[in-house]
């Protein structure tokens, strides 16, 4: 059994992160009856490492909680994990495409703005640079 600090050091996270995962119910340490300290088992360390791996793949803590729930009920979480990952890949591709278009618009504006002098705002124009962009 290990303390919060020992677990955090072994896994490479902060003690605050470990405490947070306990607070939201992802880890379930035992309490030392003599001093009240939380004591973490090898299962907790394994779960903590799983959390970190899942987060690296973009899983949210809510999704990780759902995965843990499936495993605690002896259901395979793999179908849900595959579905989430497939959905995220589609979402990421869409976001990347949108960012590419935004980058192109920004670069076009940058080239166009080279020819436009700085302006002073008045009742008609706030910023001639932005207002030169077709909506």
pTM above 0.85, yes or no: no
Q: What is the CATH number of the domain that holds 25?
A: 1.10.1660.10
Residue 103 CA to residue 111 CA, distance in Å, equals 12
Residue 62 forms part of a structural domain: no
- Domain match, 43 and 86 both: no
Q: pLDDT at position 68, please?
A: 94
Q: In the chain, where do the E strands start and end? A: 30-31, 38-39
Residue 70 forms part of a structural domain: no
Model pLDDT for residues 12-61, shown as the tens digit of each residue: 999 999 999 999 999 999 998 888 889 999 999 999 999 999 999 999 99
Residue 84 forms part of a structural domain: yes
The domain of 26 spans: 1-53
For residues 91 and 84, the answer to whether their CB atoms sit within 8 Å is no
Tell which of 53, 68, 95 closes a domain: 53
Number of domains in the chain: 2
């Amino acid at each position: 059994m290990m303390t919060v600090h020992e677990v955090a050091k072994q896994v490479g996270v902060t003690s605050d992160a470990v405490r947070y995962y306990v607070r939201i119910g992802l880890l379930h340490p035992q309490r030392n009856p003599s001093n009240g300290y939380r004591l973490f088992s090898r299962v907790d360390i394994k779960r903590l490492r799983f959390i970190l791996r899942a987060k690296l793949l973009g899983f949210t803590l809510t999704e990780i909680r759902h995965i843990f729930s499936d495993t605690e009920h002896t259901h395979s979480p793999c179908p849900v994990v595959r579905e989430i990952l497939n959905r995220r890949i589609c979402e990421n591709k869409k976001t990347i495409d949108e960012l590419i278009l935004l980058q192109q618009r920004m670069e076009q504006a940058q080239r166009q703005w080279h020819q436009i002098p700085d302006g002073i705002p008045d009742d008609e124009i706030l910023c001639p640079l932005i207002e030169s962009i077709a909506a």
